[in-house]
Amino acid sequence: MSIAVNKKTPIYYNYIGGEWVESSSKEWIESYNPATSELISYSQKSNLKDVTETIDAVHHSFLHNDWSVNPKRRYEALLGLAGKMTEKSEDLSRILTEEQGKTIRESRIEISNCIDTLKYFAGAARTVFGRSIQLEPNNFGVIVKEPIGVIGIISPWNWPALLMIRELAPALAAGNGVIVKPASLTPSISVEIFKLIDEIPEFPKGIVSIVTGPGSSIGAAMATSEKIDMISFTGDTSTGKAIMEMGASNIKKVALELGGKSPNVVFADANLDKAVPLIGRSIFISAGQICMAGSRVLIHESIKDEVVARLKHYAEGLRVENGILETADMGPLASQSQLDIVQEYCEIGKQEGKIITGGYRLTGGEYDKGYYFSPTIIDDLSADCRVTREEIFGPVLAVQTFSSDEEALEMANDSDFGLSAGVWTADLNRSMKMSRGIKAGTVWINTYNKNFPEAEFGGYKQSGLGRTRGIDGLMEYCETKHIHIETD
């Protein structure tokens, strides 16, 4: 059943075959500002018919234009989108903050990173190289990199612009057609970016489409479709496992960037003036709703009290308020359900450990309108406590203590996840030993959360499959073909 809509509130449509269309369901998804609970937009509550039409449109476009064999066109299209996003960067940042809740400063960083990613992969579109091999006197091999075909991208709500562009840019640079299914919690920013794509003539009509709606039906239809050749999913590990199982129905290629429980390992010789604020930022940025959040801090026993005291001071000094305010250091959680999850873990932390600071919902005044939670640090937790082992996706930092390098390495690896880690030490030998020993896709030494489009990113263990960014990120979206020539 359709719902009445306020015509003053923005309405976002699906973009299919180069046209803006309403879902055949005639139903809408409502999006609310997590800082104020105000209605900010409507988007399409699409169904199986809509996603099937979208897949057919992208598949047809991929087969009937020169996109896959015209790298210069792809370069110009992606560079054009970077330019359009630069022009609209402040508007996009505002929409992102109002929809997701993160601070306006973080939103500006996210949009800037989107632009940088597009520029990098615009250039990469013209450097999809293969190689040649002399096999025998009369046998010559050409190893060719070709686009896979039609890619389905399912993007998350925590960094909805960047984590969409991070996959969309290399998929398009490699010459594929793409369908995007954004998270139902944050469709507005994704569709706003597609409005800019619609203004760029270098994108063939239909080569890239977006359809909004529930992941349980649309994501499943994409994962099982015979016309989609690859699924790229960014999100929680349990959903990633389900996507992987569905993709196996037709041996579809699957790329997964999943959860994390990343450690910051702080040795006695660490520069604490630098380490503490970056460790604090690593867990409290985006209210902890980031896959690479430094949600565990492993501290050498000789400096534990000092580090914990400094982290407590950092956390209690953060301004938690509506992200649209320039003074905000941390905004609200993205939804009531996410708030409930964080509160549940903090109750466990109170029972099984010691709350150093925080651990409660912020209430009173403007706080009552949104999903605000206090920056939280919990100590005295066992290694097998759920707070220590499970991804919370909130502003909750678990403290652990070690006495030797060997113990630190063992603790860092004592996790089902392996997305990222930080190592803080002045000892070069130790830093190299730790970085090589930690089973994670990214290890930062004396810094944290530094990401660049030219440097690969991805996870070990249950943090995912494949790599995004960099050359490997481009190659994820390519097939390798051997063309064999035998001469007389």
Taking the C-alpha atoms of residue 276 and residue 270, their distance in angstroms, rounded to an integer, is 10
390/388 Cα distance (integer angstroms): 6
Residue 66: other Cβ atoms inside 10 A: 10
Q: Select from 393, 435, 440 the least CA-distant residue to 415.
A: 440
User: In the β-sheet with 442-445, what is the strand arrangement from edge to edge?
Assistant: 354-357, 376-379, 396-402, 296-300, 263-266, 420-424, 442-445
Report the number of secondary-structure helices (H) and strands (E) in the chain: 15, 22
Place of tokens 């973080």: 106
Cα–Cα distance measured from residue 113 to residue 22, given in angstroms and rounded to the nearest whole number: 31
How many whole angstroms separate alpha carbon 272 and alpha carbon 304? 11
Q: Quick one: tokens of 169?
A: 């840019």
Q: Give which of 427, 465, 92, 442 is closest to 282, Cα–Cα.
A: 442
> How many whole angstroms separate alpha carbon 250 and alpha carbon 202?
32
- For residue 205, the Cα-to-chain-centroid distance in whole angstroms is 27
Instruction: Name the catalytic one among 257, 321, 456, 476.
Output: 257
Bridge partners (DSSP) of residue 399 are 297
Is beta strand 14-16 parallel, antiparallel or unpaired with respect to 19-21? Answer: antiparallel
484 has which bridge partners? 141
Number of neighbours of residue 351 by Cβ within 10 angstroms = 9
Structure tokens at 414: 């004592």
Residue 210: CB partners within 8 Å, gap ≥ 6? 14, 15, 179, 180, 181, 182, 190, 191, 194
Q: Is 257 a known active-site residue? A: yes
d(CA 90, CA 180): 23
CA distance 2 to 185: 19
Beta bridge partners of 180: 153, 210
Q: Which residues are catalytic?
A: 257
